[in-house]
Amino acid sequence: MKKFLLTGLIALCLVPVSTGKPAYKNPRLPEEKRVEDLLSRMTLAEKVMQLNQYTLGRNDNVNNIGEVVGKLPAELGSVIYFGSDPVLRNAMQKRAMEESRLGIPLIFGYDDIHGFKTVYQISLGQACSWNPALVEKMCAHSAREARRSGIDWTFSPMIDVARDPRWGRVAEGYGEDPYVNGVFGAASVRGYQGAGLRSLDAVAACLKHYVGYGASEAGRDYVYTEISRPTLWNVYLYPYKMCVDAGAVSLMSSFNDISGVPGSANHYTLSEVLRDAWGFDGLVVSDWDAVRQLINQGYCKDLEEASEAAITAGVDMDMMSHGYDTYLGDLVGSGKVPLSVVDEAVRRVLRVKFRLGLFENPYTPEEAPEKRFFLPEALETASQLAAESMVLLKNDGVLPVKDVSRIAVVGPLANNRLDLLGNWKAHGEAADADAFLSGIEREFPSAEVRYEEGCNVRGEGDFSAAVELARWSDVVVLCLGEMLNWSGENTSRSSIALPAGQERLLEALKAAGKPVVVTLTNGRPLELNRIEPLANAILETWQPGINGAGALAGILSGRINPSGKLAITFPWSTGQIPIYYNRHKSGRRGTQGIYKDITSDPLYPFGHGLSYTTFEYGEPVCVGAPSLGAPFKVEVKVTNTGAADGLETVLWYISDPYCRVVTRPEKELKYFEKKLIKAGASETFVFEVDPARDLGYLDGAGRYFVEAGEYHIFVGDKDIKLQL
Ligand code: NOJ
């Protein structure tokens, strides 16, 4: 009897109780039922408005050109919200909820890229930590700050493989390797979206810029890209597939023309690949004004045609082109755009809104800033990420700095807070950051630390006081680098060298006869061939965020053993670009096909990074008898042969040396793992090779194949040959 009662009760709870409300307002119904119910109630005009994203009033992004609107229509789909005040956001939301006929909530988007208020290391630096779990944590903290400030949707992560450091946006992604972009992108998606989008600690992620934007010709932003189909599949689409599989609910279509069909009108990438082949059911928003730019790209003659091209290709939401709101209604009326295409786009927008729980919880709790920002765990993560992402490029033994009583701290980045934040600093402010100088003063309490700027970031200034200080000192710490807005969107450069004045400052200080440790703070690989011979040590800090100073000072003193490795190649000179590790092979080897005037090798290759200890790699061994038919393991023992404990990242590459379908790169990274190895101890690292995932390649039609034959697996300075 009791059992019957209980079953009856459970059954009662499962039966949707009729509340008299329309089905789409019933949170107990399945998402798709709610979507279809709401869609069936909407007029064409209401549908069209859901497909637009506007921004209101303030627009703090200089690259977001175009008009902002003075008043939002209540039926609008989305807003880019440049504020951090939930009160203002809630007021806009109230209008959508109460003044639109169906009460459809707005979704508020924003570029929360490497921190909302607490600013962390830039993405390129994050990749050099080889610690995706830490990046996931960072994104989770950032999501919490953003969502509690009224943001439901972040335009992040950027997973554009970037092999040209003249392109300013290399700072925003995870470097030159497709797999690394996929792993860190997926970690970001998990961090942002958390255990569920309804949580007040989660935001919807947006993969961008779909696709191939990083292939910009000669590193110039927004321009044409020439991408062959095999390269599209194996390089540029590769990380997107990993991140779609990780559950990202949205993507942003790119600005670039992909070999003749722009990314924001590309039916192949947006519909045939993303929707049909990958089964993606979330939302695609255009990049800012990208629909209108189809005209400039020579693909459409006017905004009406551009809107038709974009929506039929698979761009669901128009960010600020004002093409959909102006023309979609008529385009459906004239039969140029089928209503079913509009319906499908609306479904995708509504789905994300339902997933975020916006119909039930449209408003953000109005908590005080102290409850939202700079929480202790977030600050701790900022410090750890800064420490693990810095890369020691050179060290002749001067580091760690020991037994010194006079430290000269010099350079434009030494007592500079703003430029540590990097591009997309969101709501971060210079005052939130700790300057390197302060970190060094705290780290070396028994030494006398003195400071001179020497020159400004442009390299202008009188060096004499700095040279005098160098003479006085036991060691010089010279902090060079870039301004935060020298990288990011629309910041292409023809040379990636630092300003000549900064290089001259190093020469002048070196002439004072004291060891010089150069620290670099920048958003792209730099041309360092003139700096390298003069510096006793070089530490790449990237743009480490608000807690970079403690990390930098800790590495200088030896309290922190550096463990970062490059996720992007540092060319010897700008003329070598593009230069990246996973290139295809040449028909001639050795001295053929190399530069006659300079070395053809990079200054610092992908994966380079020094430690205060040494690691020795044993011979990799295959466990059991490997075959193509089933997963197998390869192991390597790594021994810390030095005197300091150290974190070591083991990078596993594969190579398929001969391939008749399409030639493959010299080597391809397929797995990495980072572990602490105590001084004198050994650790075994294991690569679980799944041939169906790790050994194959895609042909130009996106068909995955795995060939039988010879394979090589590379790890450290060793490799193992397999016949599979
Ligand atoms: C243009 C940028 O390309 C994109 O990354 C960004 O998300 C949008 N503007 C919105 O700010």
Complete DSSP assignment for 578-591: S--SSPBPPSS-TT
Contact 385, 545 (CB under 8 A): yes
Q: How far is the CA of 266 from the centre of ligand 1 (A)?
A: 19
Taking the centre of ligand 1 as the mean of its atom positions, its distance from the CA of residue 415, in whole angstroms, is: 30
Query: Rounded to whole angstroms, what are the CA distances from 124 to 22, 334, 373?
Result: 47, 47, 24
Q: What is the pLDDT of residues 163-193, one digit of tens each?
A: 999 999 999 999 999 999 999 999 999 999 9
pLDDT average, residue stretch 363-385: 98
Give me the amino acid identity at 653.
Answer: Y
Helix (H, G, I), strand (E, B) or coil at 37: helix
Ligand 1 center to 447 CA (angstroms): 46
Nearest alpha carbon, ligand 1 atom 1: 288
Q: What's the whole-number mean pLDDT along residues 505-516?
A: 98
For the purposes of burial, counting CB atoms within 10 Å of the CB of 189, is it exposed (0-12), middle (13-18) or buried (19 or more)? Answer: buried
Closest ligand 1 atom number to CA of residue 208: 5
Distance CA 586, CA 550 (A): 45
User: In ligand 1, which atom is closest to the CA atom of 209?
Assistant: 5
From ligand 1's centre to the CA of 304, what distance in Å? Answer: 23
Give the integer Cα–Cα distance in Å for 499 and 459.
6
Q: What is the pLDDT of residue 17?
A: 47
3-state SS class at 484 = helix
Nearest CA to ligand 1 atom 10: 288
With cut-offs at 50, 70 and 90, classify the pLDDT of residue 16: very low
For ligand 1, atom 8, name the residue with the nearest CA: 288
Pick the atom of ligand 1 nearest to 155's CA: 7
Please report the pLDDT score of residue 66 as a whole number. 59
**Closest atom, ligand 1, to C-alpha of 109:** 10
Alpha-carbon span 120 to 130, nearest angstrom? 15
With cut-offs at 50, 70 and 90, classify the pLDDT of residue 64.
Answer: low
Question: Which residues, in sequence order, are CB contacts of 35 under 8 Å at separation 6+?
Answer: 24, 347, 350, 351, 354
- Distance between CA atoms of 235 and 257, rounded to whole angstroms? 17
CA-nearest of 682, 678, 608, 610 to 644 is 678
Instruction: Work out the burial of residue 263: count CB atoms within 10 Å of its CB; fewer than 13 is exposed, 13-18 middle, 19 or more buried.
Output: buried
Report residues whose beta carbon is within 6 angstroms of any ligand 1 atom: 61, 63-64, 111, 155, 208, 287-288, 489
Give the confidence band of 567 by pLDDT, cuts at 50, 70, 90: very high
CB 54 within 8 A of CB 27: no
Q: Using the mean position of ligand 1's atoms as its centre, give its distance from the Cα of residue 81 in Å.
A: 13
**Alpha helices in 452-517, H assignment, sequence order:** 464-472, 500-510
Helices 324-333 and 339-355: angle between axes, nearest 10 degrees: 140
Average of pLDDT values for 397-418?
98
Quickly list DSSP for 181-228.
HHHHHHHHHHHHHTT-TTSTT--B-EEEEETTGGG-GGG-TT--B---
Pocket test for ligand 1, best of 287, 320, 321, 490 (most atoms within 8 A of CB): 287
Q: How confident is the model at residue 57 (pLDDT cuts 50, 70, 90)?
A: low
Is 151 within 8 Å of 108 (Cβ atoms)?
yes
Mean pLDDT of 363-381: 98
Active-site residue set:
287
Domains and CATH numbers, the chain: 382-576 (3.40.50.1700), 615-723 (2.60.40.10)
How would residue 59 be classed by pLDDT, with cut points 50, 70 and 90?
Answer: low
Can you list the positions of beta strands (E) in 312-471? 318-319, 391-395, 406-410, 448-452
